[in-house]
């Protein structure tokens, strides 16, 4: 809040990202449970929100050490194993092959 004031802004309220996401998608007026997923390269945040009578509340949040890079690694490992199985070539020896697979994944 102080940073906003120092920047010359007059913030009325600060809200966290999952609630801001739900509001931006117009989910505030629907009575339901909402899963907000934020997948970045280094982390994967999942928040469960409950919308009731125009209020949004976070009822569950998990921030494990799992991100998009981890998904890419699994895809690359799978492709390397398939290349070895089908063509008999160990792709892990050639770093260029691994880099190309990573970019394609």
pTM of the predicted model over 0.75: no
Tell whether 47 and 94 lie within a shared domain. Answer: no
Which residues span the domain enclosing 27? 2-62
Kindly tell me if the per-residue pLDDT of 2 is higher than 80.
no
Please state, in angstroms and rounded to a whole number, the distance separating the CA atoms of residues 35 and 10.
Answer: 30
Kindly tell me if the per-residue pLDDT of 48 is higher than 80.
yes
Tell whether 8 and 27 lie within a shared domain. Answer: yes
Tell whether 11 and 51 lie within a shared domain. Answer: yes
Tell whether 14 and 50 lie within a shared domain. Answer: yes
Tell whether 17 and 51 lie within a shared domain. Answer: yes
Number of domains in the chain: 2
Residue 57, helix vs strand vs coil = strand
Kindly tell me if the per-residue pLDDT of 66 is higher than 90.
no
Kindly tell me if the per-residue pLDDT of 23 is higher than 90.
no
Tell whether 43 and 92 lie within a shared domain. Answer: no
Residue 55, helix vs strand vs coil = strand
Tell whether 85 and 41 lie within a shared domain. Answer: no
């Amino acid at each position: 809040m102080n940073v906003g004031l120092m920047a010359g802004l007059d913030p009325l309220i600060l809200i966290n990202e999952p609630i801001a996401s739900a509001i931006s998608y117009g989910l505030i007026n629907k009575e339901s449970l909402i899963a907000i997923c934020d997948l970045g390269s280094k982390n994967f945040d999942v928040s469960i929100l409950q919308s009731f009578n125009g209020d949004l509340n976070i009822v569950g949040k998990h921030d494990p050490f799992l991100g998009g890079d981890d998904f890419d690694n699994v895809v690359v490992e799978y492709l390397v194993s398939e290349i070895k199985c089908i063509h008999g070539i160990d792709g892990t020896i050639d770093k260029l092959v691994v880099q190309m697979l990573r970019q394609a994944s």
